[in-house]
Structure 1
Amino acid sequence: MLHIGILLLKHYKLLSLAALTDVLDTVNKLYQQKNEPAPFRITLVHSSDTHQMAQAFPHYGNECLQTGSRFNLVLVPSFTADNIQEAVAENAAFFPWIQQQYRQGAEIASFCTGAFLLAAAGMLDGRIATTHVDACKAFNKAFPSVNLLPDKTVTHDGGIYTSGGATSTFNLLLHLVEVHLGIETAIRTAKIFAVDMGRDKQHYFSTFQPARQHNDELVAATQDKIEQSYQEAGTIEEIIKDIPSSRRNIVRRFKQATGITPIEYLQLTRIEAAKKMLEQTGEQMTSIILNSGYNDPKAFRKVFRKTVGMTPSEYREKFNASAHRS
């Protein structure tokens, strides 16, 4: 029997915890239906600040960090707080416990933004990892020593697993079921939860969210100019020609404030506009290309695929509501 510890964190996301327990319980029931012992023993692990939360889950065992039990697998759910860094800091009591469990041979798995906790505990230094696709920028800034793979749904490095956002939780859980119980059980579980086991990328779920939390008026003016003029099929130099500064100075300050160059910002703005048209309209592809600021279909498709991870037609087929109705 695999002893699994699920962390009861401050600011944990209820949906994440529910997914973890639901999948594990379902696998246990599959074995019990065959008159076989349940493969998973589930324990909720709490700190002195979260012990009262355990009362809401009377069907599971629970213990505090100081109990000293050894686990085979430790699961870290995602956070619901807007300020993940503060949420992580409030759960610092879990850091030494996770480190000790790993030293004793436990595997560790984080889900979605739970990767921030592992990284803050030093568990991901020099390792590959992933997290929610829209949290990747903040993660990279906070933990530059981690080899973050934003497009990956699941990663595994030295007994430490991470998953991407939201429904990627199920992909990692199914992967763990396959590792410990075999592919047949994983497939049976995937069918119960209607999960596509073949999905290994998440980049197409991302949304370009321009950085505006800075006090650089020159950069803000440049951002406004790009967002207002992205449809003009011209160079970045033409778009920002009225900004009172040298190109070199703009590029330097722009990247310092936003993390990307003006030309990258322009491309992402155009691709985001194209994505919205693909999602919400039935416009011809030629019209979408022109209205998003491109005059070269080949260049548009190349940038779109590189940025989104699929072709424009594939994106429309996946996300356009009217296409699904038809």
Structure 2
Amino acid sequence: MKRVGLVLTEDYKLLSVAALLEVLETANKLVLEKGQTAPFAIAMYQLPTQLENGEVTFHGYTIQSIAEETGVLDVILLPAFTTNDIPATIGKNLAYIPWLQQQYRSGAEVASFCSGAFLFGASGLLNGKSATTHIDSCAAFARAFPEVKLKPNETVTADDRTFTSGGSTSLFHLIILLVQKYCGHEIAIQVAKLFAIDMDRYQQSYFGTFRPNYTHNDALVSSIQEKIEKRFHQIENLEEVLGDVPASRRNLVRRFKLATGIPPIEYLQNIRIETAKRHLEQSQLSVSEIIDKSGYTDPKSFRKVFQKVVGMKPLEYREKFKVR
């Protein structure tokens, strides 16, 4: 039996916690029905200060304090957060980090779900390892934790004893992976069918929306962003945008990437692809017309970049996301 610790962090997302519990409890039930021992001993954990000011039980589980002697857990689960102010939320949860580090050093596996990766990243345990998070939070994650090998398009990552999942329903893919690891393929398939989980979805890129970062307070970079966003459909060469900027090309690209998380050419590509996605979702324009409106002159180049950024072909995207 594996000891699983589900951490009820400050600002945890109830849906994330409930989904994790449902899957683990279902796996236990299915194994018990076979006359075997339940695979997971589930426990809830919080900071002492949380327990002083809140509930001491959750869904029939007694919440335990991380300050108590609990021994080494087999798996620790970090749910998603409800807040958009991730730095503030990490500040509220800093007291978890020494406990997470000690548990990991002692042999525990640690898994984060969606934005829970930010607490995982803050612990330093992901440094040098692959990780993912919600596709729309990847740029912020990359800026905050440059030593982590971020895989923004991946639904799930597994690297040594660390596991992460992408946004929202990607949670199910990671928890199913853990069920498969500890309960076997047959139970994992049964759980996947009960929750209608597509076990073959490996990418989350087509769920993403490119949101330019303007919070860097670099006026020079902001001016370049503005030029790209206004003239993306006309730009033939980035020198049209960067040529009159009083800085060397190399330093400018470095400064732009430091501020926004991506280089100027990728920024231009993302603006163009977001434009194409909107037309595919909301208009009856042909792909050729959309290519022209997005600023591309070479259809082959457009399709290649679209596939790379979005994870599917333009017509597949239209079929999946067109507003009916």
Higher RCO (C-alpha 8 Å, min separation 6)? 2
* Equivalent AA in structure 2 for residue 39 of structure 1: P
**Partners in 1 of 2:254 and 2:104 — Cα distance?**
42
Task: Tell me the CA shift for residue 169 of structure 1.
Answer: 0.4
TM-score w.r.t. length of structure 1: 0.91
The equivalent position to 1:190 in structure 2, one of 175, 183, 192, is 192
Residues 233 and 145 (structure 1 numbering): CA distance in 2 closer, same or farther, change over 3 Å? closer
Task: Tell me the CA shift for residue 66 of structure 1.
Answer: 1.8
Residues 53 and 33 (structure 1 numbering): CA distance in 2 closer, same or farther, change over 3 Å? farther
SS of corresponding position for 1:67:
coil
**Partners in 2 of 1:213 and 1:40 — Cα distance?**
43
**Partners in 2 of 1:58 and 1:268 — Cα distance?**
43
Are residue 131 (structure 1) and residue 154 (structure 2) matched? no
Match of 2:119 in 1: 117
* Equivalent AA in structure 1 for residue 40 of structure 2: F
Percent identical among aligned pairs is 49
TM-score w.r.t. length of structure 2: 0.91
SS of corresponding position for 2:67:
helix
Residues 56 and 65 (structure 1 numbering): CA distance in 2 closer, same or farther, change over 3 Å? closer
Are residue 292 (structure 1) and residue 294 (structure 2) matched? yes
**Partners in 2 of 1:40 and 1:127 — Cα distance?**
26
**Partners in 2 of 1:96 and 1:228 — Cα distance?**
47
Moved more, 194-203 or 226-235: 226-235
**Partners in 2 of 1:260 and 1:277 — Cα distance?**
24
Residues 162 and 284 (structure 1 numbering): CA distance in 2 closer, same or farther, change over 3 Å? same
| Unpaired stretches in structure 2, ≥5 consecutive residues | none
Residues 283 and 2 (structure 1 numbering): CA distance in 2 closer, same or farther, change over 3 Å? same
Match of 1:60 in 2: 61
Match of 2:25 in 1: 25
Deviations 1:294-323 (A, max 9, x none): 12101111111122222212222222233x
Match of 1:108 in 2: 110
**Partners in 2 of 1:220 and 1:109 — Cα distance?**
36
Residues 90 and 25 (structure 1 numbering): CA distance in 2 closer, same or farther, change over 3 Å? same
* Residue pair 2:57, 2:63 contacting (<8 A) in 1 also: no
SS of corresponding position for 1:66:
coil
Deviations 1:157-187 (A, max 9, x none): 1211111111110000000000000011111
* Residue pair 1:226, 1:240 contacting (<8 A) in 2 also: no
* Equivalent AA in structure 1 for residue 311 of structure 2: G
Match of 1:164 in 2: 166
Match of 2:40 in 1: 40
Deviations 1:240-297 (A, max 9, x none): 67x6656737645534432333332221111110011112223211111111111210
**Partners in 1 of 2:138 and 2:17 — Cα distance?**
21
Match of 1:302 in 2: 304
Deviations 1:64-110 (A, max 9, x none): 01222132211111112222122112112211211222233221111
In the alignment of these two chains, the number of paired residues is 321
SS of corresponding position for 1:184:
helix
**Partners in 2 of 1:152 and 1:210 — Cα distance?**
21
**Partners in 2 of 1:290 and 1:2 — Cα distance?**
56
Match of 2:225 in 1: 223
Residues 262 and 160 (structure 1 numbering): CA distance in 2 closer, same or farther, change over 3 Å? closer
Task: Tell me the CA shift for residue 49 of structure 1.
Answer: 2.3
**Partners in 2 of 1:220 and 1:41 — Cα distance?**
51
**Partners in 2 of 1:214 and 1:160 — Cα distance?**
31
| Unpaired stretches in structure 1, ≥5 consecutive residues | none
Deviations 1:173-207 (A, max 9, x none): 00000000001111111111111101111122221
* Residue pair 1:8, 1:50 contacting (<8 A) in 2 also: no
Structure-to-structure mapping, 1:149-298, within 5 angstroms: 149-232=151-234, 234-238=236-240, 245=246, 248=249, 251=253, 253-298=255-300
Task: Tell me the CA shift for residue 58 of structure 1.
Answer: 4.3
* Residue pair 1:225, 1:240 contacting (<8 A) in 2 also: no
* Residue pair 1:8, 1:53 contacting (<8 A) in 2 also: no
Task: Tell me the CA shift for residue 214 of structure 1.
Answer: 3.2
Residues 105 and 261 (structure 1 numbering): CA distance in 2 closer, same or farther, change over 3 Å? closer
SS of corresponding position for 1:283:
coil
**Partners in 1 of 2:46 and 2:76 — Cα distance?**
12
Are residue 15 (structure 1) and residue 15 (structure 2) matched? yes
**Partners in 2 of 1:127 and 1:62 — Cα distance?**
31
**Partners in 1 of 2:144 and 2:290 — Cα distance?**
37
